[in-house]
Structure 1
Amino acid sequence: MKSIPFIVPLITLPLPISAQAAEREAPESATPNVIFIYADDIGYGDLSCNGAKTISTPHVEQLAAEGVRFTNAHSAAATSTPARYAMLTGEYAWRREGTGIADGDAGMIIRPDRYTMADMFRDAGYVTGAIGKWHLGLGDKKGTQDWNGLISPNLSDIGFDYSYIMAATGDRVPCVFVENGRVVNLDPNDSIFVSYQKNFPGEPTGKNNPELLTMLPSHGHNQSIVNGISRIGFMKGGKSALWKDDQIADELTGKAVDFIEQHKDRPFFLYFATQDAHVPRVPNARFAGKSGMGPRGDVLLQFDWSVGEVMATLKRLGLDRNTIVILSSDNGPVVDDGYRDQAVELLGNHKPGGPFRGGKYSSYEAGTRVPCILRWAGHVEPAVSDALVCQLDWFSSLASLLGVEIPAGAAPDSENYWNAWLGKDPLGRPALVEQNAQNNLSIITADWKYIEPGKGSPYNRNVGIETGNSPDPQLYDMHNDLGEKNNVANRHPAVVEELSRQLNAIKDGRVGLPLE
């Protein structure tokens, strides 16, 4: 039994389906399959279902037309690792040391003794799979992985029956796929060596050998070269195991389809985490040049294709009505995140963050307000919801659906808002804490957004994004100022005091009361 550090009661709400519908759908809905399609660095404004006019993502549009599209859905953090940690554990990442952006040789950030969402699905009788970007560490400690044997611990130790993953991200070594704890296609005579401390003798780098590059870095990303692209970190060997960047989407989508096909006769949970639109952006030839916005726009089309493949597979196998599909993104968008791929020059009128300020790394809304759709054919009426919801709550909400009692202390920050996810509750959470790249926190309610004073530069010049860092308190009216243009903290000191109190109460583990 996994040890649990906190004690939190489980709140279970009845599934809001009429008695007639429940009787009619019982054979197919008692244990619906669940698929998370989890995008990488795709912003609220990057998808045409959210009003983007400069890009067409028809498969996502179809998903939105058949489900609930959320306008106020959030990841728990404005960067990848903490957002994924929070979603899979049901715990705000800022409560834990070592949950910042992970190197490719990081040890397991979610330790084997933690009860995870995958464990919850296992307890409900599901087969569980994780395919795609991981970025939550492997092995016991940083830099100690056996990349040439069984990497342990791995995802099987935290609830996943099957895994086919990128150890970290596309811009970090090792640039290999790992299946069930072992590097795929590894030649035993060509061992892999990885370091985030120093280079291996004789190995070229982007910094010293720019003539070998097919894509130049704009900042950082100038260490080991793989496929003509320099990455973060140093790597030697493993040539037969290296991924091909323009084939990543095809490889991961193919594995997702395989998983669905192999488990079509029993309930399954699939965490399908795509690489798109994270750097380096190398679209398949089918999509290259098709968006008019360079590689970043092209991989948005590629992501849409992946969504279409998953949905087509469900329909082909007759699983369409018995599968909950949830699509979202790990954090907000970034245009130039380290490579000269013309993303800035070709952006035109496209606004990746939609109407929101900031982006990836930021305390402002574009940092965590992300695209989100839930589709469950026959159970969810198509709708647009303005409810305040967070990926943190998928854990407890789905546990309530499946009738799983979460062990005492697990998922301590996750709450059951299943009615909101079904589009039945128009309000959702009373309050939510957001986290930026410097671990500065803010709290948002239906009416207000308070960003507490924090350290760090107000502007990240490398990526061209406002961070929201300020030594002064910030308060924004979320009814009249979604763009967070006017800081009204000085005009509403009582609101600042109350939201600061609520935020501190949540930090301390107490429940903050909503505003009167």
Structure 2
Amino acid sequence: MFTINKQIPLIAGLLLSSFFSYSQHHVKPQNVILIIADDIGYGDLSCYGAKAVHTPHIDQVTRKGLVFSDAHTTASTCTPSRYSIFTGEYNWRKKGTGIATGDAGMVISPEQFTMADMFRQAGYTTGAIGKWHLGLGDQQGDQNWNGFITPGPVDIGFDYSFLMAATGDRVPCVWVENQRVANHDASAPIAVSYKEPFPGEPLGKDRPELLTKLKPSPNHGHNQAIVNGISRIGYMKGGGKALWQDEYIADTIAARATGFIKKHTKEPFFLYVGTNDIHVPRYPHRRFAGKSGMGFRGDAILQFDWTVGEIIRTLKENGLFDNTLLVISSDNGPVIDDGYQDGAEALLGDHKPWGPLHTRGGKYSNFEGGTRVPFIVSWPAHVKSGTSGALISQVDLLASFAALVGQKQLPAQVTDSQDQLKALLGTSNTGRQYIIESSTSLSVSDGEWKYIAPNASPAFYELTRTQSGNASVDQLYHLKTDLAETRNLADEKPEKVAALKTLLLKEKEKGYQRDR
């Protein structure tokens, strides 16, 4: 638009620079898409250094996008981290935000303000597609799976929803569209229980010959109801034609996401897409089976990359890509064996899902491998490509998106989400002063130093072979020189321990596990 040359006075150049900065921060994107992968690790994508598996579609996004090296979830498991994304509140402030069962009541209550509410107020049509795992209905076990399920996504700001009620390894194994089971089969009414099995319904632990696709790992609990040749957590009967086929889950999510985009090309929209691929049970479509050389987990990464590619292709075909803000991230760190005998450990080879975080940590852990995740931002019309070392937390997405679309006055209960729009758009490399993370314990990091509070839980999870980061003593790690968190410096740096403890206490004093 303008050219600055040596003849323009310095003050004019500064004013022009301010104009561009102001314009960039006050132009609304036509659309916002938030893609949250499930269990993708910091080292699982080729744009983050993976060599054994290639993710070309995501790499394509990064060529015109911003790649963050210090972005974090608020928790190392899925339900709590997603709760924080949508509400802008740390999950540990509210009871009942642990890993939800398949028949959990909705974790986010209708009176809470959400990201979807904010976008709706700003004039955006809102949609949620894919993995939900935030509960449906009013109370646990009270859902009417054969009728209208309420409350649901529409009560927290979503105009349209097409969701997995929980996860692929938990019943009910059906899609829920706008709070009714999609393709409901009246001849096979659905019943779900997490207490007692249904008489006559086969269970994986008793009928292994029926497990034609995957068998459960010992002692993980994935040996109950059998749906389409895979045993799950929980008990279920019925479903009929409404039951999903695992190898088509990604296709279904991609089709619904691209369908939503095509339907709303003439109006601004916010779309949340939660993919399931890398979460167990991993059973990718035959198009990807055997393609990675790393078994089902590696194939599932390729399948996730394909889903991103389908969304990008649809945006480009409809002239929306350049003016769509797209964020790609994960709900927590990686896990290898999380319940099924899919060969993931044996076929891992040289691939490191944790990347430079080494193998200390991952899903369920206090260590960086549990919460440091891929985080990519694309908005070609306004965000320059490159890398950012800004300290970012997903809890800040709500306030940052609000600033982006001009909704700066958030309700008083949105206390944890900070406006980090400048970092998100790449005009600042500063980010947060510190972040709070949660697993069994709470930790605080300022990007250089990380403190993990003492707790009495096990230091090692045998089932997933994960180092939990739990210890009975203070832990302090210098992340700039010890990203793998191998050397506890708490005894050597008591002043730094005290400073980070003070930050953590300050946050806890705002409200800890408060009821609503």
TM-score normalized by the length of structure 1: 0.93
8 Å Cα contact 1:207/1:223 also seen in 2: yes
8 Å Cα contact 1:264/1:319 also seen in 2: yes
Q: SS where residue 43 of structure 2 aligns? A: helix
In structure 1, how many angstroms separate the alpha carbons of the residues matched to 2:46 and 2:248? 25
Deviations 1:226-271 (A, max 9, x none): 0110000000001110001000000010000000000010000000
Unaligned 5+ segments in structure 1 are: 1-15, 511-516
In structure 1, how many angstroms separate the alpha carbons of the residues matched to 2:496 and 2:407? 38
In structure 1, how many angstroms separate the alpha carbons of the residues matched to 2:492 and 2:430? 26
Deviates more, 1:129-138 or 1:57-66: 57-66
Residue 412 of structure 1 deviates from its aligned partner by 1.4
In structure 1, how many angstroms separate the alpha carbons of the residues matched to 2:90 and 2:245? 34
Q: SS where residue 305 of structure 1 aligns? A: helix
* Partner of residue 402, structure 1: 405
Deviations 1:381-423 (A, max 9, x none): 1111111101100100110111113443232100001111111
Deviations 1:87-137 (A, max 9, x none): 100000001100000000000100100010000000000000000000000
In structure 2, how many angstroms separate the alpha carbons of the residues matched to 1:108 and 1:484? 36
* Partner of residue 366, structure 1: 369
8 Å Cα contact 1:42/1:276 also seen in 2: no
* Partner of residue 71, structure 2: 73
Residue 18 of structure 1 deviates from its aligned partner by 5.6
* Partner of residue 431, structure 2: 428
Corresponding residue pairs, total: 491
* Partner of residue 445, structure 2: 444
8 Å Cα contact 1:120/1:406 also seen in 2: no
Q: SS where residue 444 of structure 2 aligns? A: strand
* Partner of residue 386, structure 1: 389
Provide the identity percentage.
55
Residue 424 of structure 1 deviates from its aligned partner by 1.8
In structure 1, how many angstroms separate the alpha carbons of the residues matched to 2:361 and 2:36? 21
Q: SS where residue 355 of structure 1 aligns? A: helix
In structure 2, how many angstroms separate the alpha carbons of the residues matched to 1:24 and 1:445? 28
* Partner of residue 418, structure 2: 415
In structure 1, how many angstroms separate the alpha carbons of the residues matched to 2:416 and 2:23? 33
8 Å Cα contact 1:33/1:267 also seen in 2: yes
* Partner of residue 156, structure 1: 154
8 Å Cα contact 2:187/2:240 also seen in 1: no
* Partner of residue 104, structure 1: 102
Alignment of 1:329-348 (within 5 A): 329-348=330-349
8 Å Cα contact 1:133/1:275 also seen in 2: yes
In structure 2, how many angstroms separate the alpha carbons of the residues matched to 1:435 and 1:450? 12
- Superposed CA RMSD: 1.5
Residue 20 of structure 1 deviates from its aligned partner by 5.7
In structure 2, how many angstroms separate the alpha carbons of the residues matched to 1:485 and 1:43? 19
Alignment of 1:468-479 (within 5 A): 468-479=469-480
Alignment of 1:246-395 (within 5 A): 246-356=247-357, 357-395=360-398
Residue 276 of structure 1 deviates from its aligned partner by 1.5
Deviations 1:171-222 (A, max 9, x none): 0000000000000111112100000001000111011111111211112201
* Partner of residue 228, structure 1: 229
In structure 2, how many angstroms separate the alpha carbons of the residues matched to 1:102 and 1:224? 18
Could you list the structure 1 runs, at least 4 aligned residues long, displaced by more than 6 angstroms after superposition: 21-26
8 Å Cα contact 1:138/1:151 also seen in 2: yes
Residue 23 of structure 1 deviates from its aligned partner by 6.9
**CA separation of 1:318 and 1:17: change in aligned 2, threshold 3 A:** farther
* Partner of residue 63, structure 1: 61
Q: 2:47 aligns with which of 18, 37, 49?
A: 49
1:175 matches 2:178: no
8 Å Cα contact 1:448/1:478 also seen in 2: yes
8 Å Cα contact 2:210/2:229 also seen in 1: yes
TM-score normalized by the length of structure 2: 0.93
Counterpart amino acid of residue 426 in structure 2: G
Residue 64 of structure 1 deviates from its aligned partner by 1.4
In structure 2, how many angstroms separate the alpha carbons of the residues matched to 1:140 and 1:20? 48
Deviations 1:266-298 (A, max 9, x none): 000000000021000010010000000000000
8 Å Cα contact 2:25/2:404 also seen in 1: no
In structure 2, how many angstroms separate the alpha carbons of the residues matched to 1:406 and 1:140? 29
In structure 2, how many angstroms separate the alpha carbons of the residues matched to 1:349 and 1:260? 38
Counterpart amino acid of residue 334 in structure 1: V
Unaligned 5+ segments in structure 2 are: 1-15, 512-516
In structure 2, how many angstroms separate the alpha carbons of the residues matched to 1:73 and 1:21? 23
Deviates more, 1:143-152 or 1:349-358: 349-358
